[in-house]
Amino acid sequence: MKTGLAGRKAIVCASSKGLGRACAEALAAEGCDVLINGRTVETVTETAAAVRKAFPAVEVREVPGDVTRGDVQEALAHAWDAPDILVNNAGGPPPGDFREWAKDDWIRALDANMLTAIMLIKATVDGMMERGFGRIVNITSAAVKSPIETLGLSNGARAGLTGFCAGLARQTVARNVTINGLLPGPFATDRLRQTMTGRAASGESLEEAMAREARDNPAGRFGDPDEFGAACVFLCSAQAGFITGQNLVLDGGAFRGTL
């Protein structure tokens, strides 16, 4: 299938590692120009160099910085004159008990996992609609469909983004601008190791706990970030213009629902 992505310009937030990086690499493999973002400058530089080396025909720009900061959002939104694709992503909030979270903890989670994405959509969506092409993909979490008890900050903030985008997606699709969510279940990234820490049973090491979790998934394994990148490419492709306001769970079947 030809995805029609060659020469398109993508903003991929939080893309120096993990799922964001997998999306940037998969888009670059289709000939799409990408930017790499993350807070750690060295990781941004290393990842950008690796993507350039692997895909020499595409342009790779570096926009280091915390995606929740206004000046970084400005730099991301204006990194390309006419961005075609926006992949929203940021680190996930910490686990915990809601009784211990102060208002500031909620504001931080809402900022990273809801408001930042909305600000970047606001900065790019009208241009996409004028040009007649746009693909917006929000990396959220399987917790949007099936909440994880210890991740209340994530459950709440991501559900807010999903609800907002459900309304907006119907206002942009007639101009060939789609907005969809990709909902990761357990993918083998640094974040998974973080969220697994503390979920080990007594006497169980982190490695043993991770092996148990992988075995318990219907697929018998964790997801490979490349599989996530491939789903992102499809939602960004020319062929996906009739898919909008959807939330695709990638979890090996762990969510036990028929719809």
The residues binding ligand NAP (CB under 6 A) are 14, 16-20, 37-40, 43, 66-68, 89-92, 112, 139, 141, 184, 186-187, 189-192
CB nearer ligand NAP, residue 38 or residue 181: 38
CB nearer ligand NAP, residue 72 or residue 173: 72
User: 84 in helix, strand or coil?
Assistant: coil
- In angstroms, give the least distance from the CB of 151 to ligand NAP: 8
> Concatenated DSSP letters for 30-42?
TT-EEEE--S-HH
- In angstroms, give the least distance from the CB of 242 to ligand NAP: 26
Evaluate the CA torsion angle 220, 224, 228, 231 in order and state its sign.
negative
| Helical axes 116-131 vs 152-172, angle rounded to 10° | 20
**DSSP H helix total and E strand total for the chain:** 9, 7
Q: What angle do CA 186, 190, 194 make, to 5 degrees?
A: 80
- In angstroms, give the least distance from the CB of 175 to ligand NAP: 28
> In whole angstroms, how far apart are CA 259 and each of 97, 163, 186, 255?
30, 18, 20, 10
Of 35, 23, 248, 259, whose CA–CA distance to 144 is shortest? 248
- In angstroms, give the least distance from the CB of 184 to ligand NAP: 4
CB nearer ligand NAP, residue 134 or residue 184: 184
**For the CA atoms of 115, 119, 121, 122, what is the dihedral angle to 10 degrees?**
130
Q: What angle do CA 139, 83, 144 make, to 5 degrees?
A: 15
- In angstroms, give the least distance from the CB of 139 to ligand NAP: 5
- In angstroms, give the least distance from the CB of 68 to ligand NAP: 5
- In angstroms, give the least distance from the CB of 174 to ligand NAP: 30
CB nearer ligand NAP, residue 92 or residue 152: 92
CB nearer ligand NAP, residue 32 or residue 72: 72
What gap in Å lies between CA 127 and CA 129, rounded to an integer? 5
CB nearer ligand NAP, residue 87 or residue 173: 87
Of 94, 149, 86, whose CA–CA distance to 120 is shortest? 86
CB nearer ligand NAP, residue 60 or residue 173: 60
